[in-house]
């Protein structure tokens, strides 16, 4: 084992034990210690689901990237494993960037981006590398890097070439990798291999053409419900209505895919998530055939980790995906239901004042609110409410919007504190499912038609929930077990 990896392992072991019980969210997985960004290597291996992540153990800021490591059997309770890889070779000395994993012949293959600085020119070079292991210990291949930027079409960037997502199809392996084309904006290259080590360029699956941001990071590609689905996280997006916001975003391109000729024909482009904190999602397919996605529950523009915390960065609750009427549908994994500790439901009437409902409180819950647009035009829910601070969830029929607003959650440096999403035009029922886990809110509209994910790092004391509406609505509230992952450590 390299000295760098050994140091990281010793450090995380020591510091993870110092993190107070009850400080982490309950059912969301967090960095073990230090900083976490993108989920990596989300895969099934020997009957368990593994999740790696972009990891800088030594501080709560981004730094030289390692891969942190967890495993789970149900996507809710996570077991920490030691740091899997460290930036300890010439070809990844600047970082082991994002990537993915696949099981083959009883071994676990991690495919990641090695970043290095050219000795002569000082230019950054990104190339794809592989490490193979048994679920805990991984060894980097002697033949690394396995794909370098020269494999891309002429004019492509050699500096931005990263985040391979690998999958298996019969006897072959495929990988999609993000890069920039000669127009300087994103493109997704498709590569093929027989052995995970030797790769050939196949085609460019899709290109940004300067329409959706610039560099396309963290691609994923799969077929689902008869459609080809390409997910990517573009940098430098420019706002368009309520569909896309400024900065780093996430998009889902749905189209037809002719697997024989590797032709993807895009039919639609939409945001994957409309909240303030969602990036770099990655999927796996479970042995029971579910396509499950997990994302980084944070954004590059806001690090709101409270002072004194020794961990920073968490992942979303994994979501089951489908394609329905050309749209990506996302619903929380069903396994969360195994952790409900109590359930109450109410039929509520309009009220001019904020009302509390008995049994509905706390910051670890799964709540569904339903209303008819014809009879209820405004609804405000205040969650995480204490004496002074609260976070608002707002439905406004006239604006046809749903809003998450954390302006009054008590965080003085939270400069971006509210985001709105458009609701369907049609009259009828509106269903909002809200999962809160201490520091985060994940909202799912109409059984997963849209998702809205945001951090709520403001005042941790607030546990009350209030409702105010100008018409009738129904609430079903499940309290979820606290501290499910309260004690992850090594
Ligand atoms: C996305 C990203 C990836 C890169 C990683 C580095 O959030 O920028 O493109 O591999 O983070 O940590």
Q: What is the pLDDT of residue 242?
A: 97
- Report how far residue 279's alpha carbon sits from residue 303's, in angstroms, rounded to the nearest whole number: 13
Burial (CB count <10 Å: 0-12, 13-18, 19+), residue 112: buried
- What is the rounded average pLDDT of the residues 235-248? 97
Element (H, E) at 124: strand 124-133
Q: What is the pLDDT of residue 488?
A: 83
- What is the rounded average pLDDT of the residues 148-171? 96
Core vs surface per residue 322-337: b (16+ CB within 10 A) or e: bbeeeebbbebbebbe
- What is the rounded average pLDDT of the residues 391-420? 95
Does the structure show a pLDDT above 80 at 3? yes
Q: What is the pLDDT of residue 417?
A: 94
Q: How far is the CA of 94 from the centre of ligand 1 (A)?
A: 12
Which residue is catalytic, options 38, 206, 273, 414? 38
Cis peptide before 145 (omega within 30 of 0): yes
Q: What is the pLDDT of residue 303?
A: 81
User: Quick one: how many helices (H) and strands (E) in the chain?
Assistant: 1, 33
Q: How confident is residue 415, by pLDDT bands cut at 50, 70 and 90?
A: confident
Burial (CB count <10 Å: 0-12, 13-18, 19+), residue 413: exposed
Terminus-to-terminus CA distance in the chain, angstroms?
18
Q: Is 160 in the pocket of ligand 1 (CB under 6 A)?
A: no
Q: What is the pLDDT of residue 251?
A: 98
Does the structure show a pLDDT above 80 at 453? yes
Q: How confident is residue 461, by pLDDT bands cut at 50, 70 and 90?
A: confident
Ligand 1 atom with least separation from CA of 98: 10
Does the structure show a pLDDT above 80 at 489? no
The pLDDT tens digits of the residues spanning 115-134 come to 999 989 999 999 999 999 99
Q: Is 12 in the pocket of ligand 1 (CB under 6 A)?
A: no
Ligand 1 atom with least separation from CA of 218: 9
Q: Are 125 and 116 in contact (CB under 8 A)?
A: yes
Q: What is the pLDDT of residue 334?
A: 98
The structure's pTM equals 0.97
- Report how far residue 148's alpha carbon sits from residue 162's, in angstroms, rounded to the nearest whole number: 10
Beta bridge partners of 127: 114
* Number of C-beta neighbours around residue 228 at 10 A: 23
Q: Is 162 in the pocket of ligand 1 (CB under 6 A)?
A: yes
Residue, of 304 and 337, whose pLDDT is higher:
337
Q: How far is the CA of 280 from the centre of ligand 1 (A)?
A: 8
Q: How far is the CA of 19 from the centre of ligand 1 (A)?
A: 26
CA dihedral (362, 38, 326, 448) in degrees, to 10, reads: -10
Q: What is the pLDDT of residue 170?
A: 94
Q: How confident is residue 487, by pLDDT bands cut at 50, 70 and 90?
A: confident
Q: Are 42 and 351 in contact (CB under 8 A)?
A: no
- Report how far residue 70's alpha carbon sits from residue 136's, in angstroms, rounded to the nearest whole number: 10
| Average model confidence (pLDDT) across the chain | 96
Ligand 1 atom with least separation from CA of 113: 10
Provide the sign of the torsion angle of the four alpha carbons 371, 363, 416, 355, taken in this order. positive
Sequence length of the chain is: 490
DSSP letter for each residue of 173-218 = EEEEEEEE-TTSSEEEEEEEESSSSSEEEEEEEEE-TTSS-SSEEE
Q: What is the pLDDT of residue 350?
A: 97
- Report how far residue 133's alpha carbon sits from residue 128's, in angstroms, rounded to the nearest whole number: 17
Q: Is 56 in the pocket of ligand 1 (CB under 6 A)?
A: no
Provide the sign of the torsion angle of the four alpha carbons 259, 263, 267, 270, taken in this order. positive
Q: What is the pLDDT of residue 301?
A: 83
Closest alpha carbon to 91 in 54, 61, 128 = 128
Q: How far is the CA of 68 from the centre of ligand 1 (A)?
A: 14
The pLDDT tens digits of the residues spanning 263-301 come to 999 999 999 999 999 999 999 999 999 999 999 999 998
The pLDDT tens digits of the residues spanning 59-104 come to 999 999 999 999 999 999 999 999 999 999 999 999 999 999 999 9
Hey, what are 174's tokens? 């495929």
- What is the rounded average pLDDT of the residues 243-253? 97
Residue 38 designated active-site: yes
Q: Is 218 in the pocket of ligand 1 (CB under 6 A)?
A: yes
What letter does residue 107 receive in the DSSP assignment?
E
Which residue of 61, 99, 163 sits with most ligand 1 atoms within 8 Å of its CB, as the best mutation to test the pocket? Answer: 163
Q: How confident is residue 413, by pLDDT bands cut at 50, 70 and 90?
A: confident
How far is CA 461 from its chain centroid?
26
The pLDDT tens digits of the residues spanning 317-353 come to 999 999 999 999 999 999 999 999 999 999 999 999 9
CA distances for 54 relative to 33, 100, 167, 306, 485, angstroms: 12, 11, 20, 20, 19
Does the structure show a pLDDT above 90 at 19? yes
- What is the rounded average pLDDT of the residues 359-378? 97
Q: Is 177 in the pocket of ligand 1 (CB under 6 A)?
A: no
């Amino acid at each position: 084992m390299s000295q760098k990896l050994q140091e990281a392992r010793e450090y995380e072991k020591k510091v993870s034990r110092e993190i107070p019980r009850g400080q982490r969210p309950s059912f969301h997985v967090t960095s073990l210690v230090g900083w976490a960004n993108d989920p990596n290597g989300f895969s099934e291996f020997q009957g368990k689901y593994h999740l790696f992540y972009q990891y800088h153990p030594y501080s709560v800021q981004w730094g030289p990237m390692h891969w942190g490591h967890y495993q789970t059997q149900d996507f809710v309770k996570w077991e920490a494993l030691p740091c899997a890889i460290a930036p300890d070779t010439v070809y990844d000395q600047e970082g082991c960037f994002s990537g993915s994993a696949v099981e083959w012949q009883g071994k676990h293959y991690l495919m990641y981006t090695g970043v290095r600085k050219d000795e002569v020119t000082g230019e950054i070079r990104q190339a794809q590398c592989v490490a193979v292991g048994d679920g805990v210990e991984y060894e980097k291949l002697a033949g690394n890097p396995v794909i370098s930027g020269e494999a891309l079409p002429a004019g492509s960037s050699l500096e931005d070439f990263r985040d391979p997502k690998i999958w298996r199809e019969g006897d072959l392996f495929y990988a999609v990798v993000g890069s920039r084309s000669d127009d300087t904006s994103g493109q997704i290259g498709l590569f093929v291999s027989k052995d995970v080590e030797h790769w050939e360029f196949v085609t460019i699956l899709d290109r940004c053409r300067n329409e959706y941001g610039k560099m396309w990071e963290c691609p994923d590609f799969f077929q689902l419900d008869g459609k080809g689905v390409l997910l990517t996280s573009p940098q430098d997006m420019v706002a368009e209505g309520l569909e896309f916001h400024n900065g780093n975003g996430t998009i889902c391109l749905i189209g037809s895919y002719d697997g024989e000729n590797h032709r993807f024909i895009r039919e639609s482009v939409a945001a994957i998530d409309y909240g303030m904190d969602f990036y770099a999602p990655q999927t796996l397919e479970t042995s029971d055939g579910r396509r499950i996605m997990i994302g980084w529950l944070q954004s590059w523009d806001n690090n709101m980790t409270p002072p004194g915390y020794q961990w920073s960065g968490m992942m979303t609750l994994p979501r089951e995906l489908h394609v329905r009427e050309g749209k990506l549908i996302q619903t929380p994994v069903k396994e969360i239901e195994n952790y409900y500790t109590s359930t109450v439901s109410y039929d509520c009437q309009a009220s001019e004042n904020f009302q509390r409902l008995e049994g509905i409180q706390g910051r670890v819950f799964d709540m569904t609110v339903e209303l008819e647009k014809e009879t209820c035009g405004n609804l405000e829910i205040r969650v995480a409410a204490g004496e002074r601070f609260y976070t608002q969830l707002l439905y406004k029929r006239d604006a046809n919007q749903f809003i998450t607003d954390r302006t009054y959650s008590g965080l003085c440096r939270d400069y971006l504190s509210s985001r709105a999403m458009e609701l369907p035009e049609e009259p009828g029922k509106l269903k909002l499912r809200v999962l809160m886990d201490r520091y985060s809110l994940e909202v799912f509209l109409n059984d997963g038609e849209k998702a809205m994910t945001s951090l709520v790092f403001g005042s941790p004391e607030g546990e009350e929930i209030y409702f105010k509406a100008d018409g009738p609505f129904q609430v079903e509230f499940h309290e979820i077990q606290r501290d499910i992952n309260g004690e992850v450590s090594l």
